[in-house]
Every structure is written in structure tokens, then in C-alpha cells.
Amino acid sequence: MSESIKINMPFAKWCEVQKEFEEVNKVLPNEDKLDFEKYKYCSSYGRLLCHLYLIKAGTNKTLKEPEFYNKKEFEQ
């Protein structure tokens, strides 16, 4: 039986994030490649996808730390 993991986003979004990591890594030099494993448990997938798009567009150089993509916008 294979190992299961708990992800903090809808599965379709998780797949989209993973695909976007692959797309971004295609355009980055080897020393700047991003590690999906560090970010696969993040819950703020919109923020993560936005930053991946910005890297692909050339306006950002890298992602923030994984904790940034787990922050709630409005914590009560």
C-alpha cells in the first residue's frame, strides 16, 4: 500500500501548483530551481501560484519561505 499525505488545498489546486513548479523550473538555471517538496503542504495556494507566475514572468527571482504561504490573510 502506498503512503498517503495530507495536503492543505483542494487536490486540483495541488496538481496545478505542482505543474506550475515544473513550468517555472524549466526556465530557471539549475542553481535556482525550486523544490516543490518544501511547498507541497502550503495552504495559501493562490498566493503561491501568484508568486510562481511572477517568477515565470521574470518580475520575481524566488519564492518566500514556505511559512509565508501558510499564513491566514485575516487571523482572528
Distance CA 16, CA 32 (A): 21
- Among candidates 14, 3, 63, which has minimal Cα distance to 34? 63
0.95 surpassed by pTM: no
pLDDT digits (tens, 9 = 90+) for 18-37: 999 999 999 999 999 999 99
Max CA-CA distance within the chain? Answer: 43
Q: What is the pLDDT of residue 73?
A: 63
In the chain, what are the domain boundaries? 11-70
Structural element, H or E, at residue 7: none
pLDDT digits (tens, 9 = 90+) for 49-58: 999 999 999 9
Give the 3-state secondary structure of residue 44: coil
Q: What is the pLDDT of residue 11?
A: 92
